[in-house]
Amino acid sequence: MLTETRRGIVYFFAFLACIPVANWMVGNVGTACVPEGPCLIPVLPGVLAPSGVLMIGLALVLRDLVQRRLGIAWVLAAIFLGAALSAFLAPASLVVASSSAFLLSELADFAVYTPLQRRRLVLAVFASGVVGLVIDSVVFLQLAFGNLDFLAGQVVGKTWMILFSLPVIAWLRQYEVRRGIQPA
């Protein structure tokens, strides 16, 4: 059985792992790959998004879990380490877009999640994720491609990942209540 601190460390490393996986997916996984652009996946009928959106949506949720288990200092370290990792792993043409979008969206997620999480965990994860995914999408697309052509797909793809996580977050909250576990 994992202790809550160990569980937090697992969340920390899973959060950081989302970055290389997202960078790899955007160049290698999709139903179509745009020359000199991203590989795309369908997120709704007729709506495509760069495939890395799935991992970024998951990263927004994992960031919340890192904060819940390890606290603010750990999550801020994870955000800045993640931004540096994003800059290091992104293709040269996407370094500024990738690292800027990551840093700004995760900080926005942090700002929304922090005041809500003790009272309404599921709402906090959803609301902070939505704020983070919109900022990530707009910043990344504008800096990377100079347009917002894939905005709908980015928002929908990341939203799917957040929505899929909410039942797990609700279960986690009930688990904490039953065991008397307090957030960090």
> How confident is the model at residue 1, as a pLDDT?
59
Residue 171 confidence (pLDDT)? 95
DSSP letter for each residue of 4-40: HHHHHHHHHHHHHHHHHHHHHHHHH-SSEE-TTS-EE
Nearest-angstrom CA–CA distance, 154 and 163: 14
- How confident is the model at residue 24, as a pLDDT? 87
Given this model, what pLDDT does residue 151 score? 93
pLDDT for res 149: 86
Concatenating the DSSP letter of every residue in 62-109 gives HHHHHHHHH-HHHHHHHHHHHHHHHHHHS-GGGHHHHHHHHHHHHHHH
User: Would you list the domain boundaries of the chain?
Assistant: 4-179
Q: How would you write the pLDDT of the chain (184 residues) with one tens digit per residue?
A: 578 899 999 999 999 999 889 888 988 999 999 887 789 999 999 999 989 899 999 999 999 999 999 999 999 999 999 989 988 887 777 889 888 999 999 999 999 999 999 889 999 999 999 999 999 999 988 998 899 988 999 999 999 999 999 999 999 999 999 999 888 8
Residue 172 token pair: 């986690």
Alpha-carbon torsion angle 57, 78, 115, 173, nearest 10: 70
